[in-house]
Every structure is written in structure tokens, then in C-alpha cells.
A and B are shown apart, each in its own frame.
Chain A
Amino acid sequence: MSLQRTPLYEAHRALRAKLVDFGGWEMPLHYGSQISEHQAVRARAGMFDVSHMLAVDVHGGQAESFLQGLLANNVGRLREDGRALYSCMLNEAGGILDDLIVYRLGANRYRVVVNAATALKDQDWMKSHAPAGVTLEPRRDLAMVAVQGPEAREKVWQAFPRTRSASEGLATFSCVLAGNVFIARTGYTGEDGFELMLPADGAVSAWEALLEAGVAPAGLAARDTLRLEAGMNLYGEDMDENVTPPECGLEWTVDFASPREFIGRSALLASPPRSRMSGLVLLERGVLRAHQDVRSPQGTGVVTSGTFSPTLQVSIALARVAPGVACGQSVEVQVRDRWLAARAVESPFVRRGRSLLPEFPATQ
């Protein structure tokens, strides 16, 4: 099967991107050096083509109650239009089908943004649970670009001066429609910034305007190290259908406060988590990677994603560990034929360009 391409495919080729298959999409891995792209986002501004992700607009008279039953977080908490919520979508067993962001566009009008690799499965699931009168509208007509970094918003306004007045007062986790550009102050890097959704036929000129404003193009490789430093889970790596939210550090996204019966609720209440998510910092030379075994006096575990942190200059990871493992304690990770010392820490590791681990200051 041939790979799908985003409206920005030719723009990536023109920038000599290294393109790879990512969930069936031909996407830029990097444009030369993933570390410089990572640092550009932490220090200034970078942009990612995330058009492979899918926006699904949900509307109709029962859209709110439908989403309240479908999602583990409560869209009823979106008290006004233009607010966003992060949530998991669970199966009956409490396993995570996907993680997503839902934006409230209006009364009974929502936009749900799901992962690329799960987009088909998600749509089938949503359709099978949608009551009559709820419309699901996949928006493949939109391109998505995430502009992230301390200077990201300023650069967006420089590239698109007419969006400034509408988006200047935008709070974190909020969104607004400025002309035909949907602007959300959300992201996946631990930095400030905007995620833009705009008609696909305007994607190339928008991308070029952002380049012109000095925004560095950044690929999936930098996106992965940035999100990992920011302690954010990646679907398919840190969570999947066999993992429940409390087992991967997402208990805060499950709303039990309201009495609503969301899918997966009774399973979560019936079964205690078998593991918990912990950040790890490697205390020896080497690099933590997914699937490496973790051992501790409390039991065994596994690294779900690991990398070398360009900001901290040390290897970091997210790991599923035994429930009793405490923050600050030592564990060991098997790297090839040796067990290396690591420390369990709270994630995120980096936020807004700053290290959250006192022993490992940010080096930029």
C-alpha cells in the first residue's frame, strides 16, 4: 500500500527532509539534525507538520452527552466555547483506544483531534456508539501545523498579522477561529505555542510564511525527544489498549467526579492498576530505549520510551514500573548485557525550556 502524504509533502522535499513511514504516512523525520531542531523549539520557535493527525467534528443535538459517554474525561468541564480538554477514549475493559484533544466550538459542536495511526479505528468506534442525530465529520480538508517554542506565538503573528487580535488573549488550552485559521494554544513539546488548522490548499503558503518569519522546520524525531522531555505519553509506545490510564500516568485525565457512565468506568473502578508510570534518569553512560527491562526491589517493569535528552544531556525514559516504586529511588535497567543504575523521578523532565531535575540543569 502506498504511503499517504500531507499537503506539505512537497514543501518537506524542498527542504531536503528525511522522509519516513509513520503510521502509513510519509512524514519528515528530520531536516538535517534532530538535535538542532529540538533546540530551536526549546530556545526560539519550530514547526511540525501534524496534518497526518485527524480532526473529527462532532455535532448535533446530543453531541455533548455522546462525548460524555465516549470519553474518560468530562467534556462537561468545557464550560465555554473555545476551551480544550485532553482525554483518553477507553474500551469496555478500561484499555486506552486513543488519547485525544477535544475542543468545544459551540453548543453541541466539538472538534476531536486523534492520532494518525488510530484514526480509522477511532472513527469506527465513534460511529458505532454515536446516537442518531450526532454527526461525525472527518476533516481531511484541513492541514495542521504545530508552531512551538518561546517565540512561537510572536512568529505566528509576524507571519499572519491579521490573526493577532483574535489570538493575543488566548489562554493555554483554548482555541479561536481567526478568519479561516483555527488557532489553539496547545502542543506536544512542553513549550508555549499554537497549533494551527487551516484549509489544505493554504498549507504551503502558510508554511512558507512561517519559514520566512524564522520558524525552524522540525521533524518527528525532534517531536519525540521534546514530548518525552515534557513527560507526555506517545500512543502505541507508552499506552495502548492493554493499558489503563492510571497505569500510564493519566489518572488525572479520568473524571470520576461526575456521575456519568463513560465507557470503561466500571472496569477502572473494579480493577486496581497493575503498574504505574515513572520517569527514569540514567545515572551511567548509555541510552535508555523502549522495551528494556527495569528491576527494583518492588518488582519488575519495562521502559516504554527512552532517549537521550538533548536539553539535559543525559538519557531519560518513561517506564511502567511496579506500583510500589517511589520517586527518587534507585532502579536498574538492562541495557544490552548489563544492568545500569537509574533513578525513578517524576516527569515532566523539562518544561518551558527549564530542567525540572535540579541535578541535571538544562544545557543550551
Chain B
Amino acid sequence: MSIPADLKYSDSHEWIRVEPDGNVTIGITHHAQDLLGDIVFVENPAVGRTLRKGEECGVVESVKAASDIYAPISGEVVAVNGELETAPEKINADAYGAWMFRLKPADKAELAGLLEASAYAKMVEAEAA
């Protein structure tokens, strides 16, 4: 199970990386892509959209299922990974390289509410049990 220690996580299986400029990059975890199987469609939120923490803001679909993506923190969408429109399978190949979108956080304090790698690993383990 691949859960990089330098990232933060949400309980809905998104990973979050805080960039040097203060923005955060968001994708789905290796575990999430493994549950979904072959990914064939990604829909990202529009650049400029303001998201509230927990808001449904995108979707990742595999051959077998659709999974909603939730904003792990509040903020404005400042970039999306357009490459996933034509190559959504990149998430299967490299879940932590194939990022989905970037947010400019509205309230940095919300970052403290995210899960550390160890806590996320425990959650995944508990789900499997």
C-alpha cells in the first residue's frame, strides 16, 4: 500500500500536497484508484470556482463505477490537470503524480483537520478488515 508520508489525506480518499506558494494540489490515493479499477473518465471543477470544504466538485469514473470527488478544504480552484481529460488512466499508473486540481486555500487552519499518512493508513486498514 502506497501512502507517501509527506502528503495529507481526506477520509474520502483524496491526497493533498501543500505547495511552496501556499496553494494545495489534490488527487486521489493509490488505494482509491485500486478500488475503482481502470479509470476512463475524470471531471474536474472549473478554474475560478469557489469550493466549500466537503463540497462535491468532480468525479472519477472507472469502467465499473463512478466516484465523487470532494473538496478536502475550502478555496478557489486555480488550476486543473487537463491531461486527465484525454489520459485518465494516468491515475491508475501513478496516483500521486496524476494530480487533479489545485486550490488556493480560503482558510489555512482547515489543513490541520486533514489526516496524516499514518492515520490514513489506519483508516484504510480498518476498512479492509
Contact = CB atoms under 8 A, between A and B. Distances in A.
A33 B89 CA distance: 11
Nearest to A286: B41
Contacts of A30: 37
Q: Please classify the interface of chain B as helix (H, G, I), strand (E, B), loop, or mixed, using the class held by over half of its residues.
A: strand
Interface stretch (B3-11, B57-65, B69-77, B101-109): B57-65
A225 B40 CA distance: 13
B41 A34 contact: no
Nearest to A35: B38
Interface in A302-360: 307-308, 310, 336
Nearest to A222: B63
B61 A221 contact: no
Interface residues of B, number: 11
B83 interface: no
B66 interface: yes
Contact of A33 (B38, B41, B85): B38
B45 to A, nearest CB: 13
Given A287-B61, A307-B63, A33 B37 contact: yes
B66 A287 contact: yes
Given A30-B37, A34-B37, A308-B41, A289 B63 contact: no
A285 interface: yes
A41 B63 CA distance: 16
A287 B40 contact: yes
B59 A35 contact: no
Nearest to A37: B38
A221 B64 contact: yes
Interface string A127-154: 0000000000000000000000000000
A333 to B, nearest CB: 14
B37 A308 contact: no
Interface string B45-68: 000000000000001010110100
A307 B85 CA distance: 17
Given A35-B63, A287-B66, A308-B63, A221 B37 contact: yes
Interface string A274-290: 00000000000111010
B122 to A, nearest CB: 22
Contacts of B85: 285
Contacts of A308: 40-41, 61, 63
A226 to B, nearest CB: 11
Interface of B: 37-38, 40-41, 43, 59, 61, 63-64, 66, 85
28 contacts: A29-B64, A33-B37, A33-B38, A34-B37, A34-B38, A34-B63, A34-B64, A35-B38, A35-B63, A221-B64, A225-B63, A285-B41, A285-B43, A285-B85, A286-B43, A286-B61, A287-B41, A287-B61, A287-B66, A289-B66, A307-B63, A308-B40, A308-B41, A308-B61, A308-B63, A310-B38, A310-B63, A336-B59
The 6 nearest A-B residue pairs measured at CB:
A308-B40, A35-B38, A287-B61, A308-B63, A287-B41, A221-B64
